[in-house]
Structure 1
Amino acid sequence: MKIWKSILATASVFYLGVAASEIEVEIGSAWNDELDMLITRQTAPVSSNDEPLPCNGFPEYRDLPVNHFFWLGAHNAGSHDVPKFKQQAANVKEPHACQYKSQDRTITEMLTDGLRFLQVNVCKTKNDKLSLCSPTGVQMYDTLFQDFIDEVLDFIRMYPQQIIMVHVSASKKPKQPVTAEALEGAIDEVCKVHTDRTLGTDEFKRHECPFIYTHPFAARPWPTMGELINYDPDMPQWEGDGQHVGVQSQLVLTYDDRLASSLGQKSHYFSQPFWESGFKVDQQLKDVDDNVRELCKKSGALQLNAFLPETTVDCNSHLNEKFYTPAVIDRLLLSKDVCDFNNLPSTTYFSGITVDCYEQHLPFLLNLQRQMVAINYAKLNGRKVDLKPSPVKEEKLDTQSPYHHERDEL
């Protein structure tokens, strides 16, 4: 984990229409005081030999609006980084200390595996730093929010024409509330470094991170996947010297209800979520069918949150991966007694699924994504394509790259 130090920097800022010239602001991270380390640090610690195809691996669906794409998501991303002392204490004094470990893989591994939706919970530490944490804030992880954003921007800079969505949740029981101003300040610190290190970008300006797309609060159509990353294979492409120049991938930040009050209508980086999930924090196993049934009665973009509440999860039993199996998810979606997906109106569609322990069922999830993208595209064009039960048997399926596939015939 990086070591963040506090320094003072002189800056001119313009905030809420009121100029504050030449004031000192505290920069609470190492983005400015350890430049030597940052310049030599390996950027995006992932291989570029298997570069993902444009539009998150679906260039043939570049005309699909962002809110009609099907996003594979990781719930409580970053929870792989659980402090070791808390895991040890869980067996003795803190029986619930490790119950919030929802993922085993790193952020970079998630993105490399093809996930493009990351849900994170953010809390304030005793030192007033922003840290990833469990949904209730009981447990802090060993990943600072700045480190998390840094890792995401690393991937964005390395791989062109990708769109990553991050849904930020505030702790349900915060000892110190997380504000939008604090989050956006932390984002600016990280973004400045990445902007300075990216060829072909203008000088960084506060609240104008070039890697982040912010959708207007006013009701407007979302851009298509191709429009957001300027991908059009019919237009002449400048290949240059083989290096990626300028900003070619985008990050979209969304927020939950607990952050909405501090964001208001003046957010610089956060966009309103375009989906409904119907997930209830006190949801029990016996209620899952009823909740999904009610969700599927809604119109617009829906998201299936296929994970259990924190109070039912035990880090040793992996209840999520055992309960939300491919067979269960197929049943929730296809059963006439639950969602009855294939008989939903054309105005109702699924825009994503968010899970725990995603790697346990990754082949199934990739197959589901491929089907859903084709279905959503067909619905937009007045056609009907049915969702088929997955043939995936995770122990037998060849884990083919999520980035290379043929477009389904509609």
Structure 2
Amino acid sequence: MSSPLENLAIVGTMPQSVDLILPDINGIARGKRIPIAMLEKVLSNGISLPASIFAADITGDTVEATGLVWECGDADYPCFCLEHMLRPALWRRASAADLMLTMQGPENAGFYGEPRALAKRLIADLAALGFFPQVAFELEFYLLPRPEETAQAAFPSNNGDIQVYGLDSIDAHEQFFSELSAAAATYDLPLEAMVSENAHGQFEVNLHYRRDALRAADDAWALKRLIKGVAGACGYTASFMAKPYPEEAGSGMHVHVSLVDREGHNAFTKQPELLEQALGGMLVTMPEAVALLAPHANSYRRFQVGSYAPTVACWGENNRTAALRIPRSEPEARRIEHRFAGADANPYLVLAAVLGGMLYGFQNRVSAPPAIAGNAYALHKGENVSQIVLPSRWDQALSALSQGQCLAPLLGTPFVKLFSAVKQHEFNKLQNTYHPLEYAWYFERS
């Protein structure tokens, strides 16, 4: 069997450096860059990194309220390599590679603040019940001219019609998609489809499902990094911001999840009550999950009537207006498409929210409300809509998670406190920042 280093050499020149990466709460790559000469030692022995990596907010500030800074002496923990995540950084000018790490906490368990470790634990909880999730991610994003070549956040183009599913739009970005496909093959990412989406410069990339749900989340995280890297190398900027333009489509992260039993059969088809419990659990826990699925201030701009982003906690058969959709499929492919998360979310935390909802449904035998029919945006209370009220603001979502009694216990109190502290810090920082319109409107007129 070939070594990880030999596998790197197969795809090109041996890299000069390797980025050792721990994705943080926001999914941002943090860690160390080492020379290639150090890689064998790291592969054998791991490396130490501070747990305060998971206390960093979106701007890189370390949040003291997490308890991972001064209270513990900014302690290091052992981190070990995920060898299947050792890959060449094909977009870098200097030959380089990426290597994902995982942090080990006390008692040789995954560190509670690591999003990947949280998703892994929930997969194990489902396995203990005899159920094994199969998962696929779909990611929407904008492909834009570089910010330095145009106005900041300028819309890429407003010339011509918006051609949803238009192949000409993909052809117009042929270099990017060609290089993305080649890089994804090198990364062993199972690209299934590329789609022109509902705005100029907006696209969707679909990944084929994995029988290993954690590997599916690894794929999604790696794909986001790859898209950004390839875009930069091709002269673009790729944005996964949930709602970058007020009048244009937002970008979502859709998760397809099916369930396989110990015999390898689709449990949703074999035992329809399990599908109902999974749907019911996801809906009941959705208010607490919103903070994970919509993790930023901008995330909440995406939820608008007629936007293809869900606004009601409901489910439906073959219905894209519902938060949870049962796609048209063969019986062995029966699955739930969870449509709530924004593309700005951390894929590991999205997976944790989805699986946590299913687990809650199974443990409590939750009944799902009736499926909706037609346009979910036009429904009102009493029309087959559950009475579950979803948070519509960032602060409401953080409160729902921190005070939650359904999903929060499954995620664990330590993680919930950590996540809430980081996000509350971001919320406070944003609230204390003056908007330019405050000066334009009030400085001379008040």
* TM bucket normalised to smaller: under 0.3
Q: Which has the higher helix share?
A: 2
Per the normalisation by structure 1, the TM-score is 0.26
Per the normalisation by structure 2, the TM-score is 0.24
Q: Which has the higher contact order (CA 8 A, sep 6+)?
A: 1
